[in-house]
């Protein structure tokens, strides 16, 4: 559980995250986006424009750009 920009605590739904493992799943991106969007809203920052606004299980390929979207929105 983590506290995010005054937005309260957040919990992750994937308990299997292991240090050193680079497998990124849809749930990781959607949760990070959700928590980031909430934090930015709390801080009165503009909304992030994501490369693929919707990540669909089984059809959206996870790309480096998805991670870059997240990274650039916290800098």
- What is the domain range of residue 32? 2-73
Number of neighbouring beta carbons within 10 Å of residue 48: 15
Number of domains in the chain: 1
How confident is the model at residue 11, as a pLDDT?
Answer: 74
- 24 vs 69: CA distance, rounded Å: 14
**pLDDT tens, position by position, 15-70:** 666 777 777 888 889 989 998 998 889 889 999 999 989 888 888 888 999 999 99
Q: What is the pTM of this model?
A: 0.75
Q: Would you tell me how many other CB atoms lie within 10 Å of the CB of residue 55?
A: 18
Task: Fill in the DSSP letter of residue 74.
Answer: -
């Amino acid at each position: 559980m983590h506290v995010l920009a005054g937005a309260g605590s957040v919990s992750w739904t994937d308990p299997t995250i292991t240090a050193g493992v680079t497998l990124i799943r849809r749930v990781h991106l959607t949760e990070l986006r959700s928590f980031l969007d909430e934090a930015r809203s709390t801080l009165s920052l503009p909304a992030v424009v994501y490369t693929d606004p919707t990540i669909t299980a089984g059809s959206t390929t996870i790309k480096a750009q998805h991670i870059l979207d997240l990274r650039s929105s916290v800098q």
